[in-house]
Amino acid sequence: MTPATRQKVLGLYRKVLQIAKNWQSASGQIEETVRGKEYIRNEARTLFRKNKNVTDPKLIKQCIEECEARIEIGLHYNIPYPRPIHLPPMGLAHKQGRTLRHQEKLRKISKPIYLKSHDEVS
């Protein structure tokens, strides 16, 4: 990793932690604000630690672009969580019965395109 890339990555990490520190939920409720702050910090730590050994310049660039996209989308919508896109009806219904495989497929399809470095944990 070049020194310039390293500085950019560290700057993004600091920016994310600063956003978490100053985060206010859209509803203004204290519980939601605290959960949002914790989610931002935990997500940043998880992703940055997961990708700390990446050496391929293309992958590093992709991770940087993803981080910037998530920051912009989160600030724009005032929601720290990834937003599902093109979500089919009942795509996030409860997992039960015969349609379980179909629902899992719909969940996979609805994963945001900017969210490539972190697999869904649910």
Does this model's pTM top 0.75?
A: no
The pLDDT score that the predictor gives to residue 44 is: 93
- What tokens appear for 94 in the block? 């409860």
d(CA 64, CA 58): 10
The identity of residue 38, as a single letter, is: E
Rounded mean pLDDT for each run of 10 residues along the chain, 122 residues in total: 91 96 91 94 93 91 90 88 62 59 66 57 38
The pLDDT score that the predictor gives to residue 14 is: 97
